[in-house]
Structure 1
Amino acid sequence: MTLMDHDIAEDVMRGKPDHDLLRFLDKIPELDELKIELIDGKIVMQASAAPLHNLIVTKLAIQFDANDWVALPEQALISERSGFEPKPDLTITTADEVADNRNPFPADRTPLVIEVVSSDRTSDYIKKRLWYAISKIPQYLLIDPYDGICTLHSRPQGADYRVLEMHEFGEPIKLAEPFSFALDTTKFRLYPPKLLP
């Protein structure tokens, strides 16, 4: 499906709930290279992530796969909390939970979501964290390659997590149940400093 000249934005958006608009945008081939999310009632579009970001995501996915977990990259999530449909860098779940191929994927089927900070730090640190907690996702791992810090959030209560554990790159991250292993972060790399013009 492509946008025709007569499909101006106003016509597309008029009367469509946020989630319907997201479904529409997901079907436009010209937008395939963008990560499109619904965050706090707003459609957010981001260019594809940089190589160091993607390397961290890949290294994590391999570790979960080796421990018989399913790691879904950029899987759209939904819950009863409206105004959000994030696509975490990784959604961790089981093969049984994905058997019905439901999309967007229910947040209550995942014990852990992972975000690797890219350009929009506010979204990862505040807005998504709030939604993940309200949606009762048991663990949220936030990896920040700007600072070299991994923060594991656990025990959601209300609009936040009760427990935060910080680890520097290179230190293992011991995940809470139902996981029985620690994540290896020794190959995570910091983003290079941005050069000023």
Structure 2
Amino acid sequence: MVERSVLTQEAFEDLARHALRVEEAPWLEFLDGQPVFKTRPYGSRGRIIEWLTRLCVQAEQDNWLFAAQGLHIETYRKGNARPDGALAPLDTFVGQGEWASPDGVLMVVEVTSCDEDTDRRDRVEKPRAYAETRIPVYLLIDRDTCEVKVHSQPDGVRYEQVVTVPYGKTVELPDPVGIELDTEPLKNWVR
């Protein structure tokens, strides 16, 4: 049996500080006591985040979709996540630094990437971690299945409601986001 070593929160933050000095370094997250490397959004993934940012700002000018804002996920995982986007009021993260409190976050967004861990990370670990943190809405834009999944009503363990629609349909991002999302443009940014 192979023993897994557990990385401490402090060691992870030190590793993340050094990795961010490299221009093309991956994003680092810390879930289930393990460091997770995630590729930065570029190309079509970056374009999806830009598109969604515009829609969020048009709907509510006092909110912003912060790309790459690190969040402390303070449930039993005692970890950090860096969603592709975190929708929050403009001043939510002022003075908090790289790893901020998720308090005030209205929605987190993940866009599936091409790496081998996307299934486990974006479809299993992230919904659980965000629900435990009680972030109201988790939006998964799944480029593998060409679907959008809207997770809502976190109960502290999981999201009680998950709505899945194929690209091209309209889906409601429930309160506190309150945006009707036409997913037709996503057809242009499939891998």
- Regarding TM over 0.5, the answer is yes
The 2-side partners of 1:132 and 1:166 are apart by 18
Question: 1:46–1:98: structure 2 CA closer, same or farther, 3 Å change rule?
Answer: closer
The 1-side partners of 2:32 and 2:13 are apart by 13
Please, which runs of 5 or more residues in structure 2 have no aligned partner?
Answer: 1-5
> In the alignment, which residue of structure 2 is the partner of 1:77?
71
| Matched position secondary structure for 1:187 | helix
Question: 1:171–1:151: structure 2 CA closer, same or farther, 3 Å change rule?
Answer: same
> Structure 1 residue aligned with 2:140, among 124, 142, 145?
142
1:19 CA drift (Å): 4.2
Q: How is 1:77-116 mapped onto 2 (pairs within 5 angstroms)?
A: 77-81=71-75, 82-116=77-111
> In the alignment, which residue of structure 2 is the partner of 1:21?
12
Q: 1:59-87 deviations in whole A, cap 9, x for unaligned? A: 11111122212111111111431432110
> In the alignment, which residue of structure 2 is the partner of 1:35?
27
Query: How many aligned positions are there?
Result: 179
1:27 CA drift (Å): 3.3
| Matched position secondary structure for 1:136 | coil
TM-score by length of 1: 0.80
Q: 1:28-72 deviations in whole A, cap 9, x for unaligned? A: 422653111112211112333452222111111111122212111
The 1-side partners of 2:52 and 2:103 are apart by 21
> In the alignment, which residue of structure 2 is the partner of 1:195?
none
1:20 CA drift (Å): 4.1
**Please, what is the CA RMSD of the aligned residues?**
2.3
The 2-side partners of 1:62 and 1:173 are apart by 17
The 2-side partners of 1:128 and 1:104 are apart by 16
1:136 is matched by which residue type in structure 2? Answer: R
Please, which runs of 5 or more residues in structure 1 have no aligned partner?
Answer: 1-14, 193-197
Percent identity at matched positions? 22
2:98 is matched by which residue type in structure 1? Answer: N
- CA contact under 8 A between 1:22 and 1:43: conserved in structure 2? no
> In the alignment, which residue of structure 2 is the partner of 1:125?
123
Q: 1:76-101 deviations in whole A, cap 9, x for unaligned? A: 11143143211000000001323334
- CA contact under 8 A between 2:136 and 2:153: conserved in structure 1? yes
Query: Are residue 166 (structure 1) and residue 160 (structure 2) matched?
Result: no
